[in-house]
Structure 1
Amino acid sequence: MDVSDLSDNLEKLQNIEDKIVKEYNFIRECYRFKFPELENLIHHPVEYVRLVKMIGNETDMDRVSHLNDVLSSAMIMVVSVTASTTCGTPLPEDILKRTLEACDRVIELDSIRIKYLKFVESRMLDIAPNVSALVGSATVAKLIADAGGLVELANLPACNVKLVGAQKKNLAGFSSDQLRIGYIEQTEVFHSTLGDGLGVGYGMFGQDGCGKLRVSATPTRLKLSKTYKSKLAS
């Protein structure tokens, strides 16, 4: 896949995600009359839509099946308890019908989105081998998709790259990411190297003939741990 093919696929991916956002906003506007608290509990738009599809006008969450396909056991408990005390009321049949039809459209669009994303991801080792080796081809595909292209990503200031994914341009509604951390900070390599402060991942610093890395008397692990606790709490 050359640069033009990549741009075409990224443009299609962007169009699909824009459609998902439009449908998601419609669903949210309708369903907040039934379960207003749900959008504050479930921040991922596709997860939210799948839950709306499952719950519908049901008032007894014990009668809603397959919740564990979307939520963890802890979140199922939170959603169930909140649903039992919600101030919402069942939707009129016509509004419910339109809402559920929009849910079906989002689920179908998300399936197509995943196919495009996987296709772009499969070409990342050829297009951006170095970055793929660092953070994984899946993360690179998301970074390029959000930045608007490979050239655009390369031209981003380093301080902004870590934010890609945290403040998205309405891509599948991920702008509602409550933790406000980008794709880089979500990768496994980040938490097993810089995130843990173990000294791994600092390149050649500290090795013979490669200079020294100045460290403070306070363990780096503790500093980073406090930083991330503060970020996650915000």
Structure 2
Amino acid sequence: MKCYLTGCVAGFVAFSEDLKVIDYETFPLDDVASRLSESQMGGITPEERRILERLLGEYDEVVVEAEPSPAYSEFGKIRFEMPSAAGVHLRENLDEILESITDIPPSRFIHSALISATREKLRESLRESDRFLIQAINALDELDEEIGKLIERLREWYSLHFPELDGVRSHEQYVELVARYGDRDRILENFRMDVEESIGSDISSEDLHIFMDLAESIRRLQRLRQDTERYIDLKMEKLAPNLRALAGANVGARLIAHAGGLRELAMLPSSTVQVLGAEKALFRHLKSNARPPKHGVIFQHPSIRSSPWWIRGRVARLLAGKIVIAVRKDVFSGEFDPEIIESFNERFEFIKNKNKKPPVKRKRFQRKR
């Protein structure tokens, strides 16, 4: 004597040879999506295990509507059939059968499955480390913008009191001097400068206080920027070691942010990776036949930025191709491969040595009439 076992959105239903319902196990409403996912991946859910154990104790043979899977190896009298007669019968009469075995309508199970699946995808998205990395690199760009604006404001403002201090080119040193000493006389006492007498105006204690507060706020932002940069480097080392070693932590993180995630970046062709971040120039090229961009974010890489103009396009193509290999290695194997960097450096040196001089532009001669 044999019976049939088939699954549906609500759980598992067992049928006799004449397709009468003999047993069933329903999924918990708050976990329908994960149960369906586990079943579709070839696993055995707790509900299927319980009903199988009962059926195998009563019937000589159980016909399961599923693909053969190692998960069923612990059970003996099982035969696989895809599709089975019971499965076809269940799908054709789903509403009627479910109403007979449970007081919950099928639409409720479907709604619960969709809600549960959406929640699981949201949790998975929030668990992905590249989302933290994207937020960090965006924060770093915003910090750079704000620090730049505030330093420019401090220099213009403080130059009313001590214009000669503009000779200090380093922004960090300028901010440090104003935050620590404030008054120009104290700066001249503690910092060697070739200034005999300043032409700046005198200031009150209120002016001095606001100068020092502004400079100290900029110092805190600069320290926060350094901490954020270290955080990005640590995240890149764990998440994408090959990309970090090849492109650098900041360039790699910006590529991930532009692509929308590490896995999304791994799916892109090298031609797209090459111009990520140069979307405006690319659209301008497509719209008005302007010259196409040779590089986007990857221009910040030393190999491109320090190269002469006539080989930047070739180096950008080379780097983009190696970046794609590095990212796919990070996503699909997670193993660090030093050969990627070695092959890039070898090819980069070859391009530099072969193209030491700019190409000669050929003159176009017009035929004399």
- Establish whether residue 2 from structure 1 lines up as the match of residue 129 from structure 2: yes
Change (3 A) 1:55 1:10: same
State the shift of 1:36 in Å.
2.0
Percent identity between the two aligned chains: 20
Secondary structure of the residue that 1:109 maps to in structure 2? helix
Post-superposition shift, 1:102?
A: 0.7
Are residues 1:32 and 2:176 paired?
Answer: no
Q: Kindly report which structure 2 residues correspond to 1:87-166, keeping only aligned pairs within 5 A, or say none.
A: 87-134=199-246, 136=248, 140-141=249-250, 143=251, 149-151=257-259, 154=273, 155-156=276-277, 159-161=295-297, 163-164=299-300
Q: CA contact under 8 A between 1:33 and 1:91: conserved in structure 2?
A: no
| Structure-2 separation of matches of 1:86 and 1:56 | 15
> Would you say 1:57 and 2:57 are equivalent positions?
no
Q: Deviations over 1:180-213 (max 9, x none)?
A: xxx62799x99xxx9xxxxx9342876xxxxx98
Letter matched to residue 134 of structure 1: L
Distance 1:40 1:147 in 2: 37
Q: Matched residues in 2 for 1:51 and 1:58: separation?
A: 9
Between the two structures, name the one with larger relative contact order (CA 8 Å, sep ≥ 6).
1
Q: Secondary structure at the match of 1:203?
A: helix
Q: Does the 8 Å CA contact 2:140/2:229 hold for their aligned counterparts?
A: yes
Gaps of 5+ in 2: 1-127, 266-272, 278-292, 312-343, 359-369
Q: How many residues align?
A: 168
Any stretches of 5+ residues in structure 1 without a counterpart?
A: 68-76, 165-182, 195-199, 207-211, 225-234
**Shift in Å at residue 99 of structure 1?**
0.8
Give the alignment's TM-score, normalised by structure 2: 0.36
The separation in 2 between residues aligned to 1:163 and 1:86, in whole angstroms, is 43
Deviation at 1:88, TM superposition (A): 2.3
> Hey, which of these two has a bigger chunk of strand by percent?
2
- Do the aligned residues in 2 keep the contact of 1:52 with 1:103 (CA within 8 Å)? yes
Q: 1:39 to 1:147 in 2, by over 3 A?
A: farther
Whichever of the two has the greater Rg, that structure is 2
**Cα deviations across residues 90-112 of structure 1 (Å, max 9, x unaligned)?**
43322121010011111112222
Over aligned residues, Cα RMSD in angstroms?
Answer: 4.1
TM-score with structure 1 length normalisation?
Answer: 0.53
1:201 aligns with 2:345: yes
Distance 2:182 2:303 in 1: 35
